[in-house]
Amino acid sequence: MKIIIAGAGKVGATLTRSLSADGHDITLIDNKKEALTAACELYDVMGTEGSCATLETLTEAGAAEADLLIAVTNADEINLLCCVTARRINPKIHTIVRIRNAEYTAQILEMRDIFGISLIVNPEYSAAVEIERLLRYPGFLARESFAKGKVELVEFRLDAKSPLAGLQLNRISTVLKARVLICAVMRGSTITLPRGDFELKADDRIYMTAPAHELGGILRELGVITRKVKRVILGGGSLISLNLAQMLEKDGIKVQIIDRNRARCEEMAKLLPHASICCGDITDTSTMEREGLSTADAFVALTGLDELNIVMSLYASSQKVPIVITKQGHMDELQDIIGELALGSVVSPKQLCSDIVVRYVRSMRDNSGDTAVTVQTVAGGQVQACEFIIGPGALHRNTPLSKLKIRPGVLISAIFHENQVTIANGSSVYQEGDSVIVISSHANNIQRFSDIFV
């Protein structure tokens, strides 16, 4: 498809990388020449310099022939005007708009037909939703949902006391009574899609597929003590902090926010009358001690500086805070190093936003069932998890998996059939209408269900 991406910032660059890798014809628009040139050279895409909201720039970028416009600049108003203008040029174009202001979101949802908006994305809100989900099951570092929330791909790190440490995968049923499949293991910076004789070791990062309703039991069998989160400290008064605090207050969780900007603290105090707002420096140990960091159930680092978030998460871990969550904005190049640090869960708003858009784009391209309806990347982008809805033309329906010739580095991990989750084994089969979860190394570049076969 021909896709125009307006905005070469963090979200725009991430989308350009993901969608260009899928083989789409990408044109990137930005009024900052340096950022535009760098992104175009890095991802080998076309670029148009100028304001994305003008007829002239959009026409030059090829809006008349484009299938999709994605407006992800830092200004909500510019994004909205960009989409409206593109629809004026090409009434058939699909438009995706990034809106950060919650006051705009409700209004635009109500008027989306007037504006011609196909999809609204909000990276900050998506990040808050992800963090809130992680706080529900604090034993997991990450969670990805499939099959309408019935199947989960979870990440956790083995410690030396774990009953799985030193255990071969073919003996995992002796410890976990739940239906699970360990589909990937990261040891250091090396990722493995393991076989049954693979032996787990302490400090491994494990990626496991399991039915969503069995997650609580899995944590208990792993010996992970999960007490209900009652008090959370948020470092930084960002939009994510605001969205997250509103969600946590509805869950009955006490929220404390620390930010050094007095004006922002006063604003947050008005918007969150039940939260504790502290105007202070999170790098000041006396401030953190006074706010009770060491006795908090969770600490979430949400400042605008990745480096500061990393330092404060490491400090919170040193203070034995049970749950630590770190926002990551732009440090993809340090992913291997970050994975080795005690940062707890790492959440990337731009990647969450990119995953939502990629799902939409893939659903546009093919309604036959051969194209993934959900795509998630884990293990620092080294592993891809795709959900396919099996169509009438899908290969090898009703054939046991043990008889299929599947490409190396690819495995079917779960099948969702008639509201029942099956963790895949050799005797499993899939039928038309089933959801099938496929795990693969990123190098395989699985885009269609037919791609998994030799």
More confident residue, 329 or 16: 16
What digits encode the pLDDT tens for the residues 295-313?
Answer: 999 999 999 999 999 999 9
What CATH number is given to the structural domain containing 370? 3.30.70.1450
The interaxial angle of helices 239-250 and 262-271, nearest 10 deg, is: 30
Closest CA to 354 of 376, 325, 337: 376
Q: Is the pLDDT of residue 127 over 90?
A: yes
- Residue 331: its pLDDT value, please? 62
What digits encode the pLDDT tens for the residues 158-167?
Answer: 988 899 999 9
Task: State mean pLDDT over 204-210.
Answer: 93
Do 259 and 234 meet the contact criterion of CB atoms below 8 Å apart?
no
User: pLDDT confidence of 233, banded at 50, 70, 90?
Assistant: very high
Say if residue 15 is in the same domain as residue 50.
yes
- Residue 140: its pLDDT value, please? 85
Alpha-helix residue ranges (DSSP H) falling in 404-454 = none
Say if residue 15 is in the same domain as residue 99.
yes
Assigned domain for 338 exists? no
Say if residue 166 is in the same domain as residue 191.
yes
CA 358 to chain centre: 11
Assigned domain for 337 exists? no
Assigned domain for 98 exists? yes
DSSP-based three-state secondary structure for 343: coil
Say if residue 247 is in the same domain as residue 292.
yes
Say if residue 413 is in the same domain as residue 312.
no
Say if residue 135 is in the same domain as residue 83.
no
Q: Is the pLDDT of residue 226 over 90?
A: no
CA 310 to chain centre: 19
More confident residue, 442 or 311: 311
Say if residue 207 is in the same domain as residue 242.
no
Question: Which residues constitute the domain of residue 198?
Answer: 128-221
- Residue 76: its pLDDT value, please? 93
Q: Is the pLDDT of residue 157 over 70?
A: yes
Task: State mean pLDDT over 331-338.
Answer: 62
Q: Retrieve residue 271's tokens.
A: 């918007």
Q: Is the pLDDT of residue 332 over 70?
A: no
264 Cβ contact partners less than 8 Å away, ≥ 6 residues apart? 237
Q: Is the pLDDT of residue 426 over 60?
A: yes
Do 449 and 395 meet the contact criterion of CB atoms below 8 Å apart?
yes
User: pLDDT confidence of 413, banded at 50, 70, 90?
Assistant: very high
Mean pLDDT of the chain: 90
Closest CA to 381 of 338, 411, 344, 341: 338
What digits encode the pLDDT tens for the residues 22-61?
Answer: 889 999 999 999 999 999 999 999 999 999 999 999 999 9
DSSP label at 228? P
User: pLDDT confidence of 106, banded at 50, 70, 90?
Assistant: confident
Domain stop point among 221, 255, 282: 221
Helix or strand run (H / E) with residue 440 = strand 435-441
- Residue 104: its pLDDT value, please? 83
Using CA atoms, how far residue 60 sits from 55, 80, 117, in Å, is 8, 19, 22
- Residue 164: its pLDDT value, please? 93
Say if residue 92 is in the same domain as residue 180.
no
Task: State mean pLDDT over 17-25.
Answer: 89
- Of 229-243, 343-357, 410-424, the one with minimum mean pLDDT is 343-357
More confident residue, 216 or 71: 71
Task: Give the number of domains in the chain.
Answer: 4
- Look up the pTM and report it: 0.79
- Residue 109: its pLDDT value, please? 80
Domain stop point among 68, 98, 121: 121
Say if residue 240 is in the same domain as residue 211.
no
Task: State mean pLDDT over 67-89.
Answer: 95
- Residue 184: its pLDDT value, please? 94
**Buried (b) or exposed (e) across 377-388, using 16+ Cβ within 10 A?**
bbbbebbbbbbb
Q: State the CB neighbour count (10 A cutoff) for residue 402.
A: 9
Closest CA to 15 of 438, 310, 348: 348
In which region does residue 370 sit, left (phi positive, over 0), alpha (psi from -120 to 50) or beta (all else)? alpha
User: pLDDT confidence of 277, banded at 50, 70, 90?
Assistant: very high
Task: State mean pLDDT over 51-72.
Answer: 96
- Of 205-209, 327-331, 367-371, the one with minimum mean pLDDT is 367-371
Using CA atoms, how far residue 53 sits from 64, 89, 184, in Å, is 14, 12, 44
Say if residue 71 is in the same domain as residue 144.
no
What CATH number is given to the structural domain containing 290? 3.40.50.720
- Residue 369: its pLDDT value, please? 56
Assigned domain for 348 exists? no
Assigned domain for 406 exists? yes
Task: State mean pLDDT over 364-390.
Answer: 79
Domain stop point among 221, 252, 269: 221
Of 3-17, 137-151, 175-189, 349-363, the range with the highest mean pLDDT is 3-17
